[in-house]
């Protein structure tokens, strides 16, 4: 197992920028205070090193986890919506606010020299707001309805055309999010940090790249699996 204790927090983030989210969670400065060892940084913050190390190990495991082999085609509507809400929605609720703060910080410090960062902040802020509104709509209205479709009592309450119309609206919002991600890719040269990028800048780009990947998997599960299953299930009412 990697010896996290003796390495500096700056080097730990340099090796895997997504570890920055762990340090952010514990209030450890990996930018200006990046030369401190993990143990020293924890001592100054009054944090147990083992707690932070556990977070780093979990973060590394999540990055390495390849979910491409997961097959949700045989899952029920309830299993799908539970998975999406507990995995992708939970990730977005925790990660979007963190990335928005990072985007504001990086734009404030480096935006004059690199104006594209100001645009990154603007595009991401709008995307974050839209995504959180979208997920709230799903959790409060769409997902409960989809769960109800698996019970006879819930199938006939809403016409099939209304279900299809609601799904069209959700897919349109997915397309808007996809367009925003495309903008972010272009603005950041596919999330590639310049040679002079500070740790916060690198962490922002790494976080955006991970968000991009997760959101694309998330949208795929909804557009290609969940929504068609909901329509098929609802259509059985009229068979």
The segments of the chain whose pLDDT lies below 70 read 1, 64-71, 152-159, 235-239
Which tens digit of pLDDT belongs to each residue from 116-157?
999 999 999 999 999 999 999 999 999 998 888 887 544 556
Is 33 in the same domain as 91? Answer: no
Q: How many domains does the chain have?
A: 2
Distance, CA of 186 to CA of 212 (rounded, Å): 13
Is 119 in the same domain as 233? Answer: yes
Which tens digit of pLDDT belongs to each residue from 92-105?
999 999 999 999 99
Domain with 220 in it: 77-238
Is 29 in the same domain as 113? Answer: no
Is 16 in the same domain as 94? Answer: no
pTM score above 0.85: no
Is residue 72, in this structure, part of any structural domain at all? no
Is residue 1, in this structure, part of any structural domain at all? no
Which tens digit of pLDDT belongs to each residue from 200-214?
999 999 999 999 989
**Residue 37 and residue 6 in contact, taking contact as beta carbons nearer than 8 Å:** yes
Distance, CA of 100 to CA of 116 (rounded, Å): 15
Distance, CA of 135 to CA of 137 (rounded, Å): 5
Residue in 44, 64, 42 with CA at minimum distance from that of residue 53: 42
Is residue 98, in this structure, part of any structural domain at all? yes
């Amino acid at each position: 197992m990697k010896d996290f204790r003796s390495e500096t927090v700056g080097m730990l983030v340099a090796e895997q920028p997504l570890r920055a989210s762990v340090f952010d969670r514990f209030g450890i400065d990996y930018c200006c205070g990046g030369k401190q060892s993990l143990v020293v940084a924890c001592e100054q913050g009054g944090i147990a090193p083992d707690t932070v190390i556990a977070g780093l190990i979990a973060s590394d495991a999540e990055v390495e986890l390849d979910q491409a082999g997961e097959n949700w085609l045989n899952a029920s509507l309830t299993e799908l919506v539970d998975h999406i809400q507990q995995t992708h929605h939970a990730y977005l609720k925790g990660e979007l606010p963190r990335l928005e703060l990072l985007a504001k910080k990086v734009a404030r410090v480096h935006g004059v020299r690199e104006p594209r960062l100001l645009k990154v902040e603007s595009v991401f802020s709008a995307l974050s707001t839209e995504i959180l509104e979208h997920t709230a709509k799903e959790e409060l209205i769409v997902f409960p309805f989809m769960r109800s479709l698996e019970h006879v009592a819930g199938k006939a309450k809403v016409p099939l055309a209304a279900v299809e119309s609601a799904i069209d609206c959700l897919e349109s919002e997915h397309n808007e999010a996809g367009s925003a991600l495309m903008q972010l890719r272009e603005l950041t040269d596919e999330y590639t940090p310049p040679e002079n990028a500070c740790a916060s800048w690198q962490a922002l780009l790494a976080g955006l790249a991970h968000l991009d990947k997760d959101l694309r998997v998330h949208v795929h599960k909804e557009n290609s699996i969940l929504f068609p299953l909901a329509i098929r299930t609802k259509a059985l009412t009229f068979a």
